[in-house]
Structure 1
């Protein structure tokens, strides 16, 4: 298996983990893309794989049911595709010295034709591949339009991963904003409770806290249907003061509390 340069491989793995998809649930959009690829190229199966340090992870497939969610990277055809400058097309793996003795060629699924294109992130890092497989050689390889389709599906798959990433980030920002708003509401409620406790413990000073004219205005607003909280806010007095004025007003007095 060819190896990536050390610095490039480190950056590639960081980009791969950013998408948080190795152990994620199946993605119907990616499954649909592999089906489209298989049908368009007329092959037996199509796969979308992601490659980490040691393994190739099967994230979507059509026409082929992987026996396990992953396989050793050393056995992956896709390791070559990820390093190639162009899509890789192997018309007959049995006639290619790199793959003639490969266990996936000599044993199940007996792959004799392979074509793959890399999944390339916006910053140019290759995190996996889309590919097609067949048990029969394909001497003619792929036509130009078929190679273009392979590349288009790879691009569409990356667009799907990018959209998924942006959505997850947006949801996290929303959750963070909601948590901050809830914390702020809790702080305000705690402050109001402390103010209420302090007000209840404060001893009268012998002087009216609200002038008779303000008291009368408050009472008039309450009788007009204003909410007590709104009136307290408008006049800069406590809610308990407004309530006392309302109680006295009901008793027929509009004097100071």
Structure 2
């Protein structure tokens, strides 16, 4: 591509920035052409913009309404476009550069022309403002200067249009950036609230840190799978992770439905706590209901696995009530965790549990004995702690449940518990 054609490509690209081609007539441009015609005493005045093939009329005075463009090569303005200044021809028939143009030799038999290029701030000529007559005409210097000034005004209107477009684009970019930042903030907040209790996440966002807290009354649920190592040897890694994720996702739903906080998963272990970070009186009952429903979910899953001759998942759950300290650990990856003897006892209860059952401590039994069928196990010696009185939690009492499995509490259950909650509420039990 030679230098001239390269300049023309750049000029057409510059014109495109104004997004003006094929737009509707506008008063600000029409006023300029009308004024140009009146000042010069000419029947026709035009503001034309030129792309690679045509002269398109943004404004016209003295021409039919349906005339909106013509080929560039037949116009006087095509020559004016390549000029840096005003072109003035009192008699076109006497002009060597214009006398052979079709507009002069034929319809509309133009005889007079005065035009000024519209030059933008980068130096590209986008079009022209011109006046045309059908008789030879002499213009005074002041009239020619008026054409020059009006062309500058037309260019100023185009520049204003471009500035408004650039402003709108900038506003759009700012709005998009703001929306993207807001979406990122919402995703961050959602993620934070997914990994931390809501009140803890809000405290962390507000103050940048979370003070450790001692909770005198909580219940810890500790669950894991017996012989998990054997399962890892019989399942492919992807299948093992999928099944473990399915189990833990369901446990998380069950815990949440009973107002418990999922604390963490460690390998095949799942830990949840009730009564924190917001204190409540129902945490021992909540943990027992959640434990029974987790066992029912695994039992139902195992029935299907048996039919397919797949290895079974044998879940053990320990539940213990007592004081803990809870807080945030980590700087780059926040973790809400709990510490204390109550957590250690819950883990030992799980280790001493039989697969498919729920093992609770005497401290939990004290709060739930009227509501559930309990099987005493006596005192069981556990490592590093000593003898612990243990009890198997079998089910909700038959007169206090709505199902044969004894995992869904009735209204009577909640009335006896002294907690204001109905069988239809979110925490009244869910189907496993």
**TM range, normalised to the smaller chain?**
0.7 to 0.9
Q: d(CA) in 1 for partners of 2:208 and 2:15?
A: 59
Q: d(CA) in 2 for partners of 1:157 and 1:136?
A: 26
CA separation of 1:74 and 1:231: change in aligned 2, threshold 3 A = closer
| Higher deviation after alignment, 158-167 or 88-97 | 88-97
Q: d(CA) in 2 for partners of 1:182 and 1:30?
A: 37
Are 2:159 and 1:162 aligned?
A: yes
CA separation of 1:91 and 1:194: change in aligned 2, threshold 3 A = same
Once the two structures are TM-superposed, the CA of residue 123 in structure 1 deviates from its matched residue by 2.7
Once the two structures are TM-superposed, the CA of residue 67 in structure 1 deviates from its matched residue by 4.0
Once the two structures are TM-superposed, the CA of residue 137 in structure 1 deviates from its matched residue by 1.9
Alignment match, 2:38: 39
Q: d(CA) in 2 for partners of 1:243 and 1:106?
A: 93
Do 1:121 and 1:127's aligned partners in 2 also have CA atoms closer than 8 Å? yes
CA separation of 1:111 and 1:66: change in aligned 2, threshold 3 A = farther
Are 2:183 and 1:186 aligned?
A: yes
TM-score of the superposition, structure 1-length normalised? 0.72
TM-score of the superposition, structure 2-length normalised? 0.45
**What secondary structure, in the 3-state scheme, does the structure 1 residue paired with 2:196 have?**
helix
Q: d(CA) in 2 for partners of 1:149 and 1:133?
A: 15
CA separation of 1:92 and 1:243: change in aligned 2, threshold 3 A = farther
**What secondary structure, in the 3-state scheme, does the structure 2 residue paired with 1:244 have?**
coil
CA separation of 1:85 and 1:198: change in aligned 2, threshold 3 A = closer
**What secondary structure, in the 3-state scheme, does the structure 2 residue paired with 1:194 have?**
helix
Once the two structures are TM-superposed, the CA of residue 109 in structure 1 deviates from its matched residue by 2.9
Alignment match, 2:196: 199
Match of 1:174 among 171, 175, 196: 171
Once the two structures are TM-superposed, the CA of residue 150 in structure 1 deviates from its matched residue by 0.7
Alignment match, 1:215: none
Name whichever structure is richer in helix by fraction: 1
Alignment match, 1:233: 206
Once the two structures are TM-superposed, the CA of residue 194 in structure 1 deviates from its matched residue by 2.2
**What secondary structure, in the 3-state scheme, does the structure 2 residue paired with 1:50 have?**
strand
Cα RMSD after superposing both structures: 3.3
Return 5+ residue gaps in structure 1 as ranges: 202-208, 211-228, 249-255
**What secondary structure, in the 3-state scheme, does the structure 2 residue paired with 1:162 have?**
helix
Name whichever structure is richer in strand by fraction: 2
CA separation of 1:147 and 1:243: change in aligned 2, threshold 3 A = farther
**What secondary structure, in the 3-state scheme, does the structure 1 residue paired with 2:170 have?**
helix
Alignment match, 1:153: 150
Alignment match, 1:81: 80
CA separation of 1:192 and 1:39: change in aligned 2, threshold 3 A = same
Return 5+ residue gaps in structure 2 as ranges: 212-260, 262-274, 282-324, 327-432
Q: d(CA) in 2 for partners of 1:170 and 1:96?
A: 45
Alignment match, 1:143: 140
Q: d(CA) in 2 for partners of 1:167 and 1:98?
A: 39
| Higher deviation after alignment, 146-155 or 23-32 | 23-32
Q: d(CA) in 1 for partners of 2:67 and 2:194?
A: 64
CA separation of 1:243 and 1:160: change in aligned 2, threshold 3 A = farther
1:119-138 paired onto structure 2 within 5 Å = 119-138=118-137
Do 1:231 and 1:242's aligned partners in 2 also have CA atoms closer than 8 Å? no
Alignment match, 1:53: 52
CA separation of 1:124 and 1:47: change in aligned 2, threshold 3 A = same
Aligned residues: 219
Alignment match, 1:222: none
**What secondary structure, in the 3-state scheme, does the structure 1 residue paired with 2:278 have?**
helix
